[in-house]
Structure 1
Amino acid sequence: MAGHGAPALAADGTGARVAIVASSWHTQVMDGLIAGAQAALAEAHVSDVTLVRAPGSFELPILCQAYARRGFDAVIALGVIIRGGTPHFEYVSAAATDGLSRVALDSGVPVGFGLLTCDDEAQALDRAGLEGSKEDKGREAVEAALSAWNVLRTVS
């Protein structure tokens, strides 16, 4: 697991308007990711938070783009794709990842990347921020996006 060596990114989000766009698949994992993101936003003093559910991870980029275009300061993309026996995993993972990168670059709005791409459900649960999980990728996505938002505010 790649959690070792992670930076401490606690960032102030006072005044930020943030959207959480979360996939609907794998309810237990998604509940943990959303809870971690919401807790991190509350701790960062973000009070203007919108939560929207996407049908799946493939739809994350288009929905994140819509919120980025509507004046949100940061968008948090949360989802989980678990490898199966077909190439579906590779196609959806690549499309969602490339799309989220494009949203951030095209809009200039930080996109917190909380999309888990795992070989099995156990790996996803280990990253979901649930009791007993080794990592909290929902929290990490918020911290990264708010840290980037703070840096971008200094660029003129």
Structure 2
Amino acid sequence: MAGFGEPGVSTVDATGMTVGVVAARWHGELTDHMLGRAVAAAQACGAATVVARVAGSVELPVVAQALARRCDVVVALGVVVRGATAHFDYVCRSVTDGLTRVALDEGRPVAHGVLTVDTIEQARDRAGLPGSAEDKGWAATVAALDAAVAIRTVSAGPAQRLGFGG
């Protein structure tokens, strides 16, 4: 956990938007709480929510894609704790690549709210529990909505020359 550099955006005006939240059931004590925080963040921003649950983090991208086809943004939540085998690396890579692909293929912000940690204590410290240093359910949701607002702004504005040159 970096513990620094977070932009500190607490809410955005996402009135009329819909957030699709998909959360893994693995490490349910944590993902249930993160899901609740994600829904609360969406409501605080004026957005509606659609919620789906999956068994584990590997299943997140395919359901995220289904949600991206009907929602303005998607938030994927899970917890992957490093073990003694390479499984952690394969799961993390699969989830990250899958969620990135969904965002680019569907043209929708997809927040990566999957905690990839060495210990369950690190996960607890990022899950938004009382006393946690971070609240990834809330932060991931607001970040995705912030990106959606930016996309709408860029898409609605007049065509302008961007970049270098005149």
Q: What is the number of equivalent residue pairs in this alignment?
A: 154
Which residue in the other structure is 1:68 paired with?
68
Which residue in the other structure is 1:42 paired with?
43
TM-score for the superposition, normalised by structure 2: 0.90
Instruction: Structure 1 unaligned segments of length 5 or more: list them.
Output: none
TM-score for the superposition, normalised by structure 1: 0.95
CA apart distance, 1:39 = 1.4
Tell me the SS of whatever aligns to 1:129.
coil
Tell me the SS of whatever aligns to 1:2.
coil
CA apart distance, 1:31 = 1.8
CA apart distance, 1:67 = 1.1
Which residue in the other structure is 2:127 paired with?
128
Instruction: Structure 2 unaligned segments of length 5 or more: list them.
Output: 156-166
CA apart distance, 1:2 = 1.4
Structure 1 counterpart of 2:55, one-letter code: P
Which residue in the other structure is 1:57 paired with?
57
Does 2:31 match 1:30? yes
What is the distance in 2 between the residues matched to 1:34 and 1:19? 11
Percent identity (aligned): 51
Q: CA RMSD in A?
A: 1.0
What is the distance in 2 between the residues matched to 1:153 and 1:123? 35
What is the distance in 2 between the residues matched to 1:3 and 1:106? 31
Tell me the SS of whatever aligns to 2:154.
coil
What is the distance in 2 between the residues matched to 1:2 and 1:140? 14
The structure that has the greater radius of gyration is 2
Instruction: Tell me which moved more, 73-82 or 27-36.
Output: 27-36
Structure 2 counterpart of 1:68, one-letter code: A
Tell me the SS of whatever aligns to 1:89.
helix
Structure 2 counterpart of 1:146, one-letter code: L
Deviation >4 Å, runs of 4+: none
Superposed CA deviations along residues 67-112 of structure 1, whole A, max 9, x for unmatched, are: 112x210011001100111111000000000100000011101101
Does 2:22 match 1:21? yes
